Structure 1
Amino acid sequence: MREKHDESLMQGFAKAFKPVVEANHPPGIMYHDPQVLEMEREKIFRSDWLCLGRSEEIAEPGDYMTMRVVDEPILICRKSNGEIAAYSNTCLHRGVEIASGSGNAKEFTCPYHGWLYDLEGQLQGASYMRDSVGFERKNCRLPTLPCATWHGWIFVSLNKDAENFDSYIADFEEKFGYIGMADMRLGFSREIPLNCNWKLLVENFIDFYHVGVLHRDTIGRFMKTTDVEYELRRDGRVFINEYDAGSHTDSGQVFYDPIESLKNKPPRFSQTGILNPNLNFFVRPDYVMLYTSWPVDVKTMIMKQYIVFPAKAVVQDDFPDTVARFKKMSDKILGEDFEMVESLQNASKATHFVPGRMSRLEKGVQHYIKHNIKRIFGPQGADDETDLPAASVAE
């Protein structure tokens, strides 16, 4: 019985690898099976580079922030020399997290037994350990994690043998490096819990098929076409290089003058992209939006939203009003999406649901889905794109 189930499952995955106008969406197991999530934690989240925030969130020496990513505790801080470092947030004694939340500190003290660490991760003090045979404080340092910044965005990997960061980010540098985001400032960020699998939201953000229907009274009013040209890259990455959309205002007009590097672009210029494993990126004339989706368990997740504006906008007197206006429209748009992805989660286990055919408007969604299937279950067909280069492959 198990063999028949596995055979049927593989057939279902293979259907997702056909040309998009012949393909089906994948079996629901991708979104509701705890074993699939555990494989994703190990093969994806503990392997890839992960975007964990903005460098301006830890602007001064001693500034730090902490988080848990797939149950791994992480401490990010700005060292005395101004560099940003990432550590496993685990005391070298029994593993208790040595820091919590965010703030500024000259040192980190384990709240359990008082072991003391400096900003370099070096153990500075461990009481009652002098008579412990073979224990050498000077040899004790917090595990350091690979850490890099890209135009003000902080990336960390749980994999000490992670892909070279410059190679990893090359596609995004090619597409978005010109914007000059290092000079932009964080307008606001927030976390929102959802009752769905983490992949469903990532897929939703690249699904232009639904925009004219679900968002017809919000952003759908401002999009001239949803039949956009997708550019497919390695590792499930998808770019839409230019399309017509409005800013998150009632009128679709910009909040401020365009970003300096976008001044020669059309007034409703937009770009978007997916960066594996879980980052959605949107460009508008006067701001940039970044979303990351994080699994909590197989059917719940946390979405993190970051919005960066030109530095001169953030210091204007009316900026708090701008943020309020942005959030009001964003809440409407995201609320429409959230209801749908939570419904998709319910459907993934429905007894009588059979994944349906794909539309040509779902090329981007399909490309991302195929990448995740390959990461977990291996190649699934003759048209598999495992050798797809970093160079452009437009469809």
Structure 2
Amino acid sequence: MTVLTPQLLESFADSVRPTAQAVTLPPSVYTDAEFFAFEKDAVFGQEWLCLGRASDVANPGDFVNVDIIGERLTMVHGQDGRIRVLSPVCQHRGMLVSEGSGNCRAFKCAYHHWTYGLDGRLVGAREMGRTEGFDRSRHGLPSLPVELWQGFVFTSLRADPLPLAPRLAKLDALLANFELERCVARNSFSSPSMPWNWKVMFENFNDGYHASRLHAGVHDFCPSDRSEFLPYDDDDAAIARTNGFLHPDGGFNALQRALLPVFPGITEEERSRAAFALVPPTLCIGVAPDQAFYFLIRPVDAGHIAVDVNYLFHPDALRDRLFEEKYELSNAGVNGIVAQDVEATTGVQQGLTSRFAPRGRYSYLEEAQAQFNRWLVRRYTAHWPGADRAPVPTAASAAANKIEVAA
């Protein structure tokens, strides 16, 4: 028996209503293995996926492998200066030709020594001279689309995805003064398996409603009721909000003050707020006066994700002679917040598996979650089995219909 029923599809209309009328998505979309398998194609198989930063492969020959929804992808800096994303599946017998990260001049399959250039071309295949019609140019590693945005590297499993950058224009305006493309990245925390659904991670990252409660004390300078939400259009590729401070140069630490040098180009307004953005389905970004931060999300299964938590610092900040000491204090504060979020999101996932799990109502401070529903449901509807002609629900159409909330 399938969970992908017409009734489940119809029930999504109640989650894309205006925030004051909307309800949360059905619990099964966070917990069901069949639904996750559907998302792997309907969402992750269609959208732009962030693999990391261009600085992760800063030099010619640098490569990094990323595993996402069961696919190994290789981000590589070619000798021609281009960053590419390749499938490292040998086009002879299917062995993976690349592991981990490093620097190389070519990728060589350990099985039969087929050798590929950094651009994916097959440059060596011994003992193939007797194979009729064999043309090396037709057996290169699959090359995927690539877009660079704000220093991040995106790829897509689709051959012809819609361009990403034009649909992130509102984030360009929001982040312009932080010069993220110039920033230096540093990893804070990585885990190959955290026990919650990928959507729970996205919902928590951009949830201002919980900040004054779950993070009371360390987060008091950035109260929940100072959240403001950027407008969302159904063609947008991002969801964003700002959160005002009680004083300039706030910081997510015990002192509630920025400990590191603030970004030199930001405005007085930007020194008095943080901003949080989702670029689903793999990237979450935040900025504060003295640091930016980003999460890379890779689903493992319906109830687990791999996650990397990273910082971005302006190059000028690293010139501070006490940068490392200040960084350790700042990171300790952030890690305390992350630990509280881990406990909360773990509890949410556990609750969603219960027969008593709700389709709850939203506070006005959860506009970002309602916008995320619109992003998701548009993609669910477009790829629903047997629903090729179904209209894609929008906030306006959902508000107009009178469908009862479905469990």
Matched, 1:67 2:66: yes
Q: CA deviation at 1:249?
A: 2.5
Q: Deviations over 1:42-87 (max 9, x none)?
A: 1111111111111111111101101111111111111112111111
Structure 1 residues 366 and 36, CA gap change in structure 2 (3 angstroms): same
Q: 1:328 to 1:114 in 2, by over 3 A?
A: same
2:396 matches 1:383: yes
TM-score relative to the length of structure 1: 0.89
**Residue equivalent to 1:349:** 353
Shift of 1:381: 6.7
Q: CA 1:253/1:142 → structure 2, altered by over 3 Å: closer, same or farther?
A: same
Structure 2 CA distance for partners of 1:385 and 1:61, relative to 1, 3 Å: farther
Q: Structure 2 vs 1, CA of residues 228 and 164 (structure 1 numbering), >3 Å: closer, same or farther? A: same
CA deviation profile, 1:91-136 (whole Å, cap 9, x unmatched): 1112221111111101111122211111121111112211111112
The change in CA–CA distance for 1:374 and 1:148 in structure 2 (over 3 A counts) is closer
CA distance in 2, matches of 1:382, 1:256: 41
Name the counterpart of 2:126: 127
Distance (Å, rounded) in 1 between the aligned partners of 2:316 and 2:177: 18
Structure 2 CA distance for aligned equivalents of residues 382 and 52 of structure 1: 31
Secondary structure at the residue paired with 1:253?
Answer: coil
Provide the rounded CA distance (Å) in 2 between the counterparts of 1:357 and 1:112: 56
Structure 2 residue aligned with 1:112:
111
**Separation in structure 1 between the aligned mates of residue 2 and residue 313 of structure 2, nearest angstrom:** 53
CA distance 1:138–1:325, shift in 2 (3 Å): same
Structure 1: distance between partners of 2:224 and 2:165: 34
Whether contact under 8 Å (2:168, 2:237) holds in the other structure is: no
| Equivalent AA in structure 2 for residue 47 of structure 1 | Q
**Which moved further from structure 2: 175-184 or 301-310?**
175-184
Q: Hey, what's the Cα distance between the residues in 1 that align with 2:86 and 2:9?
A: 39
Deviation of 1:236 after TM superposition, in Å, equals: 6.8
- Name the TM-score, length of structure 2 as normaliser: 0.87
**What's 1:391 paired with?**
none
The amino acid across from 1:162 in the alignment is P
1:325 equivalent in structure 2? 329
Instruction: Kindly report which structure 2 residues correspond to 1:87-98, keeping only aligned pairs within 5 A, or say none.
Output: 87-98=86-97
C-alpha displacement of 1:224: 3.6
Instruction: Tell me, yes or no, if structure 1 residue 210 matches structure 2 residue 214.
Output: no
| CA positional deviation for 1:146 | 0.7
Structure 2 unpaired stretches of 5+: 383-391, 400-407
Percent of aligned pairs with the same residue?
A: 25
Secondary structure of the structure 1 residue equivalent to 2:43:
helix
**Aligned 8 A contact 1:236 1:368 in 2:** no
Report the CA distance shift for 1:225/1:37 in structure 2 as closer, same or farther (over 3 A). closer
Aligned to 1:160: 159
8 Å contact from structure 2 (residues 206, 241) kept in 1: no
8 Å Cα contact 1:187/1:323 also seen in 2: no
1:1-395 maps to which residues of 2 (within 5 A)?
6=5, 9-10=8-9, 12-192=11-191, 193-219=193-219, 221-234=220-233, 235=236, 237-241=238-242, 243-244=244-245, 246-262=250-266, 264-265=268-269, 267-377=271-381, 379-380=392-393, 383-384=396-397
- Contact in 2 for aligned 1:236/1:370 (Cα 8 Å): no
- Secondary structure of 1:208's partner? coil
- Residue pair 1:238, 1:273 contacting (<8 A) in 2 also: yes
- CA gap of 1:236–1:75, structure 2 versus 1, over 3 A, is closer
In structure 1, C-alpha distance between the alignment counterparts of 2:177 and 2:97, rounded to whole Å: 39
Distance 1:98 1:168 in 2: 34
Q: Relative to 1, partners in 2 of residues 1:18 and 1:250: Cα closer, same or farther, differing over 3 Å? A: same
Please give the alpha-carbon distance, in whole angstroms, between the structure 2 residues aligned to 1:160 and 1:30: 27
In structure 2, C-alpha distance between the alignment counterparts of 1:335 and 1:177, rounded to whole Å: 30
Q: CA deviation at 1:297?
A: 0.3
Where 1:133 maps in the other structure, the secondary structure is coil
Q: Is the 8 A contact 1:36 1:376 kept in 2?
A: no
Q: Distance in 1 between matches of 2:167 and 2:267?
A: 29
What per-residue deviation string (whole Å, max 9, x for no partner) do you get for residues 199-227 of structure 1? 001001111111111010322x2214435
Do the aligned partners of 1:232 and 1:367 also contact (CA within 8 Å) in 2?
Answer: no
Asked whether the equivalents of residues 85 and 147 of structure 1 are also in contact (C-alpha less than 8 Å), the reply is: yes
Change (3 A) 1:185 1:13: same
How far is 1:14 from its partner? 3.0
How many Å apart are 1:29 and its aligned residue? 0.8
CA contact (8 A) 1:20 1:359 kept: yes
CA contact (8 A) 1:273 1:280 kept: yes
SS at match of 2:51: strand
| Greater shift in the superposed pair: 267-276 or 317-326 | 317-326
**What's the offset of the Cα at 1:140?**
2.7
1-side partners of 2:11 and 2:381: how far apart? 12
Q: Which amino acid aligns with 1:79?
A: G
Q: 1:201 and 1:218 mapped to 2: Cα distance?
A: 21
The corresponding residue for 2:388 is none
| Cα deviation, residue 172, structure 1 | 2.2
Structure 1 residues 23 and 264, CA, compared in 2 at 3 Å: closer, same or farther?
closer
Measured after TM superposition, the shift of residue 2 of structure 1 is 8.2
Paired AA for residue 19 in structure 2: V
Q: Which runs of 5+ in 1 are unaligned?
A: 387-395
Change (3 A) 1:30 1:125: same
Structure 2 partner of 1:390: none
